[in-house]
Amino acid sequence: ETGVTQTPRHLVMGMTNKKSLKCEQHLGHNAMYWYKQSAKKPLELMFVYNFKEQTENNSVPSRFSPECPNSSHLFLHLHTLQPEDSALYLCASSQGQLSGANVLTFGAGSRLTVL
């Protein structure tokens, strides 16, 4: 496979469940990102990893827990979520992080519904 792959594409969970989103990139990129996309709102950056080190955590609630075991894989662990967390979660990667011309390659997203 090429590009950025996210699984699962759709996830429905209760507020007491624990689940994980997975992201994999085959582009040889060094930076990986989690974004939250809600209808009619700008993309919200959640976490950034550069060379496997977390470099950004934009005041994300602790019920979201990222993990980056290597530069090709990124996880988002979910537990005790709230209905307002229902959204499309996008993973992205880029060659590096700190650059004006930093083009992101996105996955197709994981559509999360919290009941």
Smallest gap from residue 56 Cβ to other proteins (A): 8
**5/18 Cα distance (integer angstroms):** 21
Q: Does 13 bind other proteins (CB under 8 A)?
A: no
Q: And the tokens for 81?
A: 């979520």
Q: Does 102 bind other proteins (CB under 8 A)?
A: yes
Which is nearer to other proteins, 16 or 39 (by Cβ)? 39
User: What is the footprint of other proteins within residues 70-99 (CB under 8 A)?
Assistant: 90, 97-99
- Using the rule CB under 8 A, which residue among 41, 53, 59, 84 binds other proteins? 41
CB 35 → other proteins: shortest distance, Å?
A: 9
Stretch that binds other proteins, among 13-21, 22-30, 66-74, 100-108 (CB under 8 A): 100-108
**Nearer Cβ to other proteins (99/113):** 99
